[in-house]
Amino acid sequence: MSTKQAAPPLPEPLRVPVADSHTHLDMQTGSTVEEALAKAASVGVTTLVQVGCDLKGSHWAARTAAAHDGVHAAVALHPNEAPRIVLGDPDGWSRQDGREPGGDTALDDALAEIDALAALPHVRAVGETGLDYFRTGPEGVAAQERSFRAHIEIAKRRGKTLVIHDREAHADVLRILAEEGAPERTVFHCYSGDAEMAEVCAAAGYYMSFAGNVTFKNAQPLRDALTVAPLGLVLVETDAPFLTPAPYRGRPNAPYLIPVTLRAMADVKGIGEDAMAEAISRNTAHAFGY
């Protein structure tokens, strides 16, 4: 196995345990769930939020959270999944259930299934939902928006956290949240806005979760956003197996690498890693209600 394919080494353990607020264990290879949890716990990452992106993944997240005390589930149709259900969009999120696209009725049926999962006690959040203008073109916007509004309604009715996927759609995501009325707890996963947007999110009380890309050389706008984001609204995530932090960019990501990103975030905020970890641990527990 080449160095670029090999798993990065274990970082130095954190002294204060924290949570990975957004991960996809079902997409990670090379270890079982139990092994991944043990490896994360060995460096102080003791809680994970496992996020579903389609029906199969959401059912998997719910089962995994039910089986492991340190795992909480989030369930949803990813923004790129909604157009695929309605239109069969070839650029949408890959379907895993083998069904053909079926229009608005099929989307309603899928949303009803997400709603039923959201009622489960170990499902703490509805997401990741939102808008993605990078992968899905204009023909998919209507399906994405309808799905997003439905997820907001489910989160509010079920009393669950809303987890936002926002890619190149900042203004419309913020607009729809304002129009629908955001749930009490709303998290911008893999925060991708600038400092100005961070101020808007802070004023609304939205949590901002930063991933490994905050460590990338070309990510100064993200670091500027983290600088102005209130410490009480900041979370950390891997979005594993994606967005592996520097210096391991391009290699497989996993929850055990949270300490790398957290230490970089502490440097940006100008505080010690223990203070950063204490704030993130407290924030994540409040954000997801556990």
Q: What is the pLDDT of residues 218-267, one digit of tens each?
A: 999 999 999 999 999 999 999 999 999 999 999 999 999 999 999 999 99
Q: How far apart are the C-alpha atoms of 116 and 104, rounded to whole Å?
A: 18
How much is the average pLDDT of 58-78? Answer: 98
Within 13 Å and on the Cβ side, how many CA atoms surround 104?
Answer: 4
Taking only the tens place, the pLDDT of each residue in 208-232 is 999 999 999 999 999 999 999 999 9
Give the model's confidence band at 3: pLDDT under 50 very low, under 70 low, under 90 confident, else very high. Answer: low
> What are the tokens at 215?
């460590």
pLDDT for the residue numbered 21:
98
Q: What is the pLDDT of residue 100?
A: 56
In order, the DSSP letters of the chain are --TTTSPPPPPPPPSS-EEEEEE-GGG--SS-HHHHHHHHHTTTEEEEEEE-SSHHHHHHHHHHHHH-TTEEEEE---TTHHHHHHH--TTSSPP-S-PPP-HHHHHHHHHHHHHHHHTSTTEEEEEEEEEETTTS-GGGHHHHHHHHHHHHHHHHHHT-EEEEEEES-HHHHHHHHHHH---SSEEETT----HHHHHHHHHHT-EEEE-GGGGSTT-HHHHHHHHHS-GGGEEE---TTS-PPTTSTTSPP-GGGHHHHHHHHHHHHTS-HHHHHHHHHHHHHHHHT-
Confidence of residue 2 (pLDDT cuts 50, 70, 90): low
**Residue pLDDT, tens place only, 157-187:** 999 999 999 999 999 999 999 999 999 999 9
pLDDT, position 137: 85
The band of 95, judged by pLDDT with boundaries at 50, 70 and 90, is very low
Q: How many CB atoms lie within 10 A of CB 35?
A: 11
**Does pLDDT of 92 surpass 50?**
no
Note whether 125 and 164 are within 8 A (CB): no
Q: Predicted confidence band at 88 (pLDDT cuts at 50, 70, 90)? A: confident
Query: pLDDT band for position 53 (50/70/90)?
Result: very high
In order of start, what are the domains of the chain with their CATH numbers? 22-44+51-270 (3.20.20.140)
Lowest mean pLDDT across 2-6, 42-46, 212-216: 2-6
